[in-house]
Each structure stands twice: as C-alpha cells, then as structure tokens.
Structure 1
C-alpha cells in the first residue's frame, strides 16, 4: 500500500470519510455475518432439543423399558427382631414361615493362659520365643474346600502380642484375633460362620510361636483350649421343611433372609408386589414425557422477530448491555418455528402412545386401560394425564400385564411394547436432527447447517479481501486528490508572490 496523505492539503478528515464510505461497502458482509449467526442459532436450538430427547430416551431406558422396574417386591416379617427378608424380584408373591431357628456361629480358637516373664518388655513376642520367625505362615481351610493363606512379616524386636493379633485381624486370612490382658489369653474367630473351619500352621517356627501363645496342636492344626468351639450351621425349618445354611444371611425362593436371633416360635415373612414402586415409575415417566414435549412444543411455537437481526460488533457497541441482551433474545427467538422434523417427531410419539400392544391380557393392551390418556385441552398439545386410582388398581390387579404394555419385546410391530416403540421414534428423530444440525463430534462438512456455515465463511472471507482492495482504492483516490490540491496550493502561492514582486 502506498503512502497515505490524510487531509493535510485539503483539510478534509480523510480517515472518517473512508470509514463512512466503507460502512456502505461493508453492508453485504454484515448481511452474511447476520445470516451466519441465524444458522448458528438454529443449529444450537436443534442440538438443545436433541439433548432433551436423549434425556427422555435415557429416562425411558432406565425406567419403563426395564422389566425389573415392574417386578419389584416388598416384604414384611411378623417378628423383625428374629428374621427379616428382602424380596429380590425373582419370586412371586408368597408367605414363608420359619420355625425352630438356630443361628449359625463362627469357629473359635482360644488359647490357655500365656505365661509372660515379669519384665518391662513383657508385651513383646520376643519374651515368649527366643527365635521368632520372620514370616508367620497360617492357612484357613473352609468347609467349602477353599482356603486362604497368610505369610505375615513381623519384626521380632518390636512386635507385641497385641500388634501381632491386630495384623492377623487386618489381613485377608479371614480370622479376627485379639489378646485379652485381664485373662492373659489369645482368642481368634473365623469371620465367616458355619461348621468345618480349621486353622493350620505351615512351618515349625510358627507352630512353636502359637504353642507359646497357649494353643495346642495336632498335626500342624491349631486346636486351642477346651473353651474353643467349632462353628455351627444355621438350622431352621421353612414351611415345615428342615434346612441348614452356613450363614445367617442367605437367599431362598426369591427372598434374601437375615436370621437375627434363635427362636422356637414361628415367624412368617410375606412377599407382595411393590405397587408403590411400579406406580411411581409410571408416574415419573409421564411427568418426564410431558416436560419434554412441552419444551419442544414451546420451541417450535416460538415467535419470530424478523426486524431483530443479529447484532454486528459495531452495532453492539452502540447499545447498553441490557439493550443488547434484550435484542439478542428477540434475534434468537423462533429459529425452529413450525419445524417439520420436530413436529413430525412429536406427532409420531403421540401415535406411539395411542397404539395397542398385543400380548396375553386383552384388558391391558392400551394406556387408556390403565388410566393414562392425552389431555382434552388442545392448548397442552398432547400432554398425558393420569387417573391415579385406575392406574393403581391396574397395577394391583395384573402387574405383569402392565409390565408387558410397556416392555413387551418383539420384532412384530403390533406386539412391541410402548417403551420399545417410543425409543425407536426418539432415535429416528435424533438421527434426522443430527443430519441437519450435527453434534459436538461431527465436523461442519458432515451436516447440512454445517455446510451452510462453511459456505458463509468462504463468502465472507472473499468479500473481506475485496473490501481491503476497495479501501485501498479509496485511500489512493484521496491521496491523489490531496496531491493535486497541494500542487494547486503551491501554484497559487507562487503566483501571489510574482504579482507582489511586480508592483
């Protein structure tokens, strides 16, 4: 670019003149900028609607599309201080009576009194055994045939009886251990209940240590004193059938049972359908569906303010922050007004909700049969309303039929559950919207509005380059004018001087 002479000769504000001239020249670029912003607004609104649809799809998937949501059970015990039961959903409604309950107990190993020398170091293991093992080797054999082994590192000079017992308890051996200073005895107990646990040492030094801790041994098996007891399996009868279990917590007939106390008095655990949970699952679905279609309906009914084009940077400078915010709200409004993709998606969803699901029970093959229908108020545009009493009665009468209405899995259209059909419709709508507006993982070249944005960028770039040339031309023209004015001024001064000299 050549040298610019900005009004020195003519006295004109050339920079301002060029700036004003460029405003007119820049108008087509501003129009392109505004069109680009409108496309971006539309893209963002599409993606926001897709976000709501995906959230609805996830809600359906985690709720009414799962059979487990309809198979929940509740259980009550006639004496919860003795027995409690939690239904796991695998069994039907039932009454189970437990009688003659005897709890499972753990295997215990109790040593005889430990003879400790009367020294200041009396708590140290080294006072009991002159040559301590660096590793204590123990194995716990279980009734199941499994076993766990322990190789416990100890410091012979520092390890106390109490700290040694604590390390055993904290290990993965499966045994709790402690030293009682009042009785001077070591006590150990299997963490699991049941009959048939045994504890073994696997080297001579470990055996010698436990003998000093008051335990007798039989062929490397830890026996203990006469206070030691073998564990017992839980014993009880269920509806008259005698049973045993190694644990006080077990499953039977779709019920997870916890035995808490011995008893000779019968205790009944009753399992029934969890009507409240199923009811809440369906009500929550209806509420989420209504929230979603309300957001989409409001978006496609939003008014369009065509007189409020997106603000350019120059226009924004002339407004206050509040004025710019209000302008932006109107400029962004109505980007999806009467949008066919979303309107068709909602219409198909409404059709899905009217459909008949052909399954085993004819009385529960439509939503209306369980008390759910669309509102009669046309202004609410297809929202669902619930007859709560009718819904609860349907769940209590036939929970399996209500479940099939929503979850029936089939490749035949007329037999597909409402959840399956709705998820297919939502997936199709989301795919169509993404083809037009993309998502965060797609490049502009992979969706319709993105290609339009790329085209706008290319046109704006080309026009911007042209504007630079126009601006340069204006400055050249003004510079030429300034030079001409300067020459004219110089000639005028020369002539004036000549006339003055000729007097």
Structure 2
C-alpha cells in the first residue's frame, strides 16, 4: 500500500465535477435536438409565408374577380367610357358598361314595382288569440298560401312574426310588425304582377272584413266555407322620353333592370333626367389599382423564389434567445427567413404560368400593348404588368367593347377567354379553394385544411422526432447521472480509505 501515491488519490471526489462531465457528454445530443427544432422552425416559417401569400392572393381574387365586388375587372361595367348623371338620384340612377351608347332620357315613374302585400291591424296590448278568435273547430289560425299559422294564448305580435317567417322560410314570404301603425305586414319578397299572396281566414268574418277594408281587397268563400283572397304585386310603370321626343313606355317586374348595356335602378316615383358624358376616370383608376395590387403580389412571390439563403442566420436556439433582446431576436429571425423558399416549385410554377399566359405569345403582347398593358421591362419583375393610363383610357373611348373582350371576355373555351378571365382561373387554381395548390401545401387557418396539408403533416412528424430525441436524451442523462453517482460514491469510499492509510503512516 505504501507504493500508492496519496497525492494522486487525495481529493479526487472533491474535484469530481459530475455536472460538468454529464453536460459535456450531452452536448452532441442537445445539438441534435436543437437541429431538429431549427429544421421544424424553418418549415413553420415556410407555412407562415405561404399562408400570407394565400391570403394576399385571395384578397386580390375577392376584390377584383368576384362578381359582386365594386372593383370587379371581369365585368362589362368595368370598361365603360361613359358616366351617367341623374338629375335626381332619389328617383333613378344608371350605370353603363362596355359597349354602351350615349343616352339622354327623361324618366317619368308613375308606379314602382311592388311585392304582393297585405296588412292586418293588431293591438300589441291585447292578447293575440283574442284578435284571432277561435274558429268553429275551436282553434285560432291564419293560412297564408298553403301554410297554416297556429295561434295560441301565449302568442304575441313578436311570436306571430317569428312563426310566419319560420314556417314560410322557403315560401318567399316574410312578415314584420310596425309598432308605429300597429300593423302585421305580410308580403312576398319578389316584386311584380307575378308576385301573388293567398290568404285564408276560417270562421272569423269580422277579421276578414277588417282585412278587406284595410287592403282594398275582396274575400270570397271557398267550398269549405273559408274566406279566401288573393293579393297581387305591381309592376314598375314608367315613360321614357329620348332626346328626339319619342316616348317609350316600360313595364318591369323589378325596379332594377338592364337595357342596352345600361343598368337602371329606380328608387321612387317622380321625374328625373339621365344624361351620359365621356368619362374614363373610374375605369382607369380601378385598372391602375388592380395593376398596383397585382404587381405587389408578384413582386413578393418572385422575391421569395430568387432570394438566396444566408448560412450565417440559422434559426435561433432557445439558449441563444436567452442572451438576446426581443428586438435582436426579431432582426435575426427576419434575416433567417430570407431565402427559405428559394426556387420553391409551386411558387415558381405560379409565376411562370401567369407570365406565360400574359406575355407568352408575341401576337397577344402586341394586342395588349395597344390597350395600355405590357410586360415590365425589368427582368427582376417577372410576371408584372406595366400600365399606360393614357393608352388604356383612349382605347376604351374608341371601343370599350373590344377592350372588354380582350381583357375580360368570357368563353367556355379557355383559349378564347380574355386575359383576366384566364388570370382568374390561374389564381383560383393556386389559392382560390381548399383544393388549390397553395392550400394543399400550407393550409388555411381556421379551416378544414389547417392541419390537412403538407407542411402541417411535416411539422407533426418533426414534432414526434423532436420528442423522441428529447426522450432519448433524457434517458441518456439519467443513465449518466446513475453511472457517475456510483463512481462518485466509489471515489468517496476510496478517498476515505486513503485518508485512513495516510494517517497510519
């Protein structure tokens, strides 16, 4: 024993840095976890960017390609070179579309189109069942068309309205109650003489007489002894005098109608003059707004495709974030996101499909140039449009219908569609629905596609892998603690023995 050096043994356990040794042993394992988390973070960022692109693309679709949007660029109304002024917009307003000729009309509206309608006087303070006394069979009711409305002691004016609207929901019938006049109003939604409302009152002659007097109608008695009446709607009646003094009488079932590419909306009875003037400002302004919004989107998408990834800015680990400020983290992550979608297949195909459709044919390029639309000269602005307001404005003055057909003409044959109809199809294919190419890849938040997409599935698999690595790392750490704890105990025992032998010497 005297040959063992007490200097090499004494203090071994005191200098034994178990935490440091284990931490050093776990370095590679922690790096694997960090790398897996960084890989997952990149996919999450890709999904976020894709979802922003989907939203921006969908916003453009909704604003410029949806039928009822005021900014619609695939509607004839978007290519008119005329503005129609009304001397009294409370009487009538009008809007022209592509191909519209100038007008100069004097409108004299004698009758508005109205739905079939009748009123029943009610007293909100008196129980409804007393105002609809029981019939011979002991039940109170009202029959509208073929729908029976039962009336009970619990009913109020409000509940009667709810019953009628509920039971007649699919019958083009609606009811309301006016507290001002005390009238239950029952009407069709559709206007015009073809609008018809049938009413049956059973066993209540006084009520039938009251309704007849208030509405100027007559009841007859059917084979079952019930009082029946039919109320008809009314057509719009108006006389239109043109600039040559000719009078044209119109009779329409609706107060909104289209004649010679002009949309008319009649608002009340009376007289008003409609005149048109050459005005391309609205059409040109709308087209300019579309081009600007569209170019911003294409610039963003193409930028994602061509931006190079910097190797110096990987996603930050949790440990790295602990030593950084919020501002520093934001700046770092902004750089880290750059280039992560470089040469992405779907984004590149999106740009190339649009580029090819717009500017892939020399003949088409020349046709578009003549109406103010051409390809951006800067190669880095792939797919973008250069818009000449003056050329466009002149083109719709000279032949607005031709401009409309070139840009927005619709055909069941895709080759014969206008360029914006084709663009509409491409945008829909990539971002317009849950089955679109972008949506299948990244999904849309708060929708059925939120988890059923390529990125979400990849993130879920990465999460499983991260959890496996962490579990494996934790198991290894436990084993190391067990191993080194046993070693430490052995060293402590050895140190005690050496101290004993040293004291003996």
Whether the TM-score (by the shorter chain) exceeds 0.5 is: yes
Q: Structure 2: any 5+ residue segments left out of the alignment? A: 1-10, 67-71, 127-177, 187-204, 220-235
Question: What does residue 418 of structure 1 align with?
Answer: 419
- Check the 8 A contact 1:357/1:417 in 2, yes or no: no
Cα distance change, pair 472–410 in 1 and its aligned pair in 2 (3 A): same
Compared with structure 1, are the counterparts of its residues 494 and 250 closer, same or farther at alpha carbon in structure 2 (3 Å cutoff)?
closer
Contact 2:284 2:392 in 1 (8 A): yes
Could you tell me which of 64, 68, 74 is aligned with 1:65? 74
Q: 1:59 to 1:8 in 2, by over 3 A?
A: farther
Alignment of 1:41-440 (within 5 A): 41-62=45-66, 63-70=72-79, 74-76=83-85, 80=87, 85-89=92-96, 92-98=100-106, 148-153=118-123, 169=181, 171=183, 203=206, 238=241, 239-241=245-247, 253=259, 254=262, 255-256=264-265, 269-271=274-276, 275-354=280-359, 366-430=367-431, 431-440=436-445
Structure 2 residue matching 1:398: 3-state secondary structure: helix
How many residues of Structure 1 are paired with residues of Structure 2 in the alignment? Answer: 388
SS in 1 for 2:60: helix
Give the whole-Å Cα distance in 2 for the aligned partners of 1:399 and 1:315.
Answer: 62
The answer to whether the 8 Å contact 1:47/1:439 transfers is yes
Match of 2:84, SS state, is strand
Provide the aligned C-alpha RMSD in A: 4.5
Aligned to 2:35: 31
Whether the aligned pair in 2 keeps the contact of 1:43 and 1:437 (CA below 8 Å) is yes
Aligned with 2:449 (options 436, 442, 445): 442
CA contact (8 A) 2:40 2:462 kept: yes
Contact 2:91 2:266 survives alignment (8 Å):
yes
Q: 1:292 Cα shift?
A: 1.0
Corresponding residue number in structure 2 for 1:465: 471
User: Residue 233 of structure 2 corresponds to which residue in structure 1?
Assistant: none
Q: Is the 8 A contact 1:444 1:450 kept in 2?
A: yes
Task: Tell me if the contact between 2:123 and 2:182 (Cα under 8 Å) persists in the aligned partners.
Answer: no
| CA deviations over 1:418-471 (Å, ceiling 9, x no partner) | 122112222333433334334433365642x44433443333222222222221
Alignment check: 8 A CA contact 2:84 2:96 kept? no
- Residue 250 of structure 1 and its aligned partner are, at CA, apart by 8.7
Tell me which of 10, 21, 24 is aligned to 1:20: 24
1:173–1:346 CA distance, 2 compared to 1 (3 A):
closer
Cα deviation for residue 399 of structure 1 reads 1.5
Q: Which has the larger radius of gyration?
A: 1
When normalised by structure 2's length, the TM-score is 0.63
- The 2-side partners of 1:443 and 1:388 are apart by 41
- 1:304-334 alpha-carbon deviations (Å, 9 max, x no partner): 1112221111121122333322222222221
Question: CA–CA distance in 2 between the matches of 1:48 and 1:145?
Answer: 46
Q: Deviations over 1:181-234 (max 9, x none)?
A: xxxxxxxxxxxxxxxxxxxxx849x99xx9xxxxxxxx99xxxxxxxxxxxx99
SS in 2 for 1:483: helix
Structure 1 position 27, deviation (Å) = 1.6
Give the gaps of 5 or more residues in structure 1: 1-6, 107-142, 157-165, 175-201, 211-218, 221-232
TM-score normalised by structure 1 residue count: 0.63
- Output one character per residue of 1:146-183: Cα deviation in whole Å (capped at 9) or x when no partner: 56232322779xxxxxxxxx966463569xxxxxxxxx
